Amino acid sequence: MDNIIVVSIISLITATLRIATPLIFTSLGGVFSERSGVVNIGLEGMMTIGAFFAVYGTYITGSPVVGIVFALVAGGLLALIHAVLSIHLKSDQVISGTAINLFATALASFLIYILFNGKGGQTDLVTLLPYNLPQFIVNIPIIG
């Protein structure tokens, strides 16, 4: 019994570290931007676009290194857009960061639909298993 608990705890810790790694890197980027005086709410959008273009770059070239370069360029372009909006056009950093998030999510969904003939990450409906309601519930007017 003790072995099961130890294995479960180790599995939980490894899964947590594996899943949390992108979020940790993103939060480190947020700390650096905050230390420089920029409120960067658009980090999630930059991460989304970077992930999409990493997959797309790897898909069209077959090289993960080129996919990483695609991700760097795409994330850098979104950061440049955020910088132009915030510094040159004097827009509110929270508003432009929120706009970056919305734009990146919509752009990734649109490009998935166009380039991969997908539905934007939506899955088909799953049918439920057939079930029989008890007779006393069937006789209730609204529920049955």
In a domain, 17, yes or no: yes
- Report the pLDDT value the prediction gives residue 37, as an integer from 0 to 100: 85
Report whether pLDDT(121) > 60.
no
- The answer to whether residues 26 and 59 belong to one domain is no
Same domain, residue pair 21 and 57 = no
- Which domain range does residue 12 map to? 1-37
- Angle formed by the axes of helices 43-61 and 64-83, to 10°? 150
**pLDDT reading at 24 higher than 60:** yes
Q: Is residue 1 domain-shared with residue 19, that is, in the same domain?
A: yes
**How far is Cα 108 from Cα 51, in angstroms, rounded to an integer?**
9
**62 and 29 in a common domain:** no
Closest among 131, 112, 132 to 122, alpha carbons compared: 112
CA distance 35 to 129: 54
Q: Examine the domain organization and report whether 32 and 48 are in the same domain.
A: no
* DSSP for residue 1: -
Is position 143 within any domain?
no
Same domain? For 52 and 33 the reply is no
Q: Both 49 and 82 in a single domain?
A: yes
pLDDT > 90: what percent of the chain? 47
* In a domain? residue 33: yes
Query: How many Å apart are CA 44 and CA 123, to the nearest integer?
Result: 22
Task: Please state the domain count of the chain.
Answer: 2
Query: Is the pLDDT assigned to residue 144 strictly greater than 60?
Result: no
Number of Cβ within 10 Å of residue 129's Cβ equals 4
Q: Mean pLDDT throughout 48-55?
A: 95
Same domain (yes/no): 30, 52? no
Is 10 a member of any domain? yes
**Mean pLDDT across the stretch 95-114?**
92
Task: Clarify whether residues 21 and 84 are in a common domain.
Answer: no
DSSP result, 73-141: HHHHHHHHHHHIIIIIS---HHHHHHHHHHHHHHHHHHHHHHHH---SSPPPPPPPPP----HHHHTST
